[in-house]
Structure 1
Amino acid sequence: VMRHGIRAPWTTYPLDPFAANNSQRFPNGGSQLTDAGIEQAYNMGKYYKQRYGKFITANPKRAYLRGSAAQRCIDTLSIVTKQLWPQDSDEKKQWQPMIFSLPQKIDSILYEEPDCQSAEDEEHNNLKTPAVQAYEADPKIQ
């Protein structure tokens, strides 16, 4: 069980002086892996291979790979698996990792947020409190 590598922010704060350069800083897009995240996943795969290699099947087709449905998670797992089972130079023996995922609404293992109406109601009520209303009305925050 692991999470994704380092990712780009999905949004910026109001008046972010660097927001105009986000497409250059994060060419893979918001919430996607950064170059550092790709390298992190690569190194993690090498580490897992070195540390747990004798416990991991030699046949990648026998492994069950499961990630959450977010693209950054699938990308991270794909990079890690390429270190666990390096590609053969013979094109006929090359393989593609099969990563399974479920939609967030029905994935009760990899998503920690339950589909709970009471929790959603409480969150909605909290957003109506005077403290939150004052915070959101503050022009320095906008």
Structure 2
Amino acid sequence: MNKKTILGLLTGAAIVAATTGSYAAWDKLDVTHSSTISIAKPVTVTTALTDSYANLTSNEDTRTLGTDVPVYSVDMPINVEAGSHDVDLKVEASVSGIDGASASAELYDAAGNTKIESLEKIPNGSYTVRTTITMPTNAPDNVESVNVTTTASLSASTTE
């Protein structure tokens, strides 16, 4: 190859490199955006009670001897935090340790005075789950304690 050909090739390569590597000043070739995302709090139902219920009560002082079946109650304070979600609340109770005993659970206001009739679309706030334990009429005299389990569960509301 002669010098003229080599010089022509180098000149052509320089022109191609210069034109393909440059853009007009008004061309926008990339974009970056920074945002802050607020992380939602989880939907929760919580209680401050530990495994031992400190507020166990009975009807021992008010029952009539020989006629009333012993009834006990346990109040469990709960707090519902569902944000803007519509949630239903389910309360359940069970008792073990004696055959024939039964348990039921109902929801009350935080003070435990007013029963909440509907557990659908429950608003955020504080409540009391009252568990009532009814002993069997033939309960043996040597029963000193029973185990009570109270559960409050949230689920997505299915009501319109």
Q: What TM-score, normalized to structure 2?
A: 0.20
Max Rg structure: 2
When you count strand as a share of all residues, which structure comes out higher?
2
Q: What TM-score, normalized to structure 1?
A: 0.22
When you count helix as a share of all residues, which structure comes out higher?
1
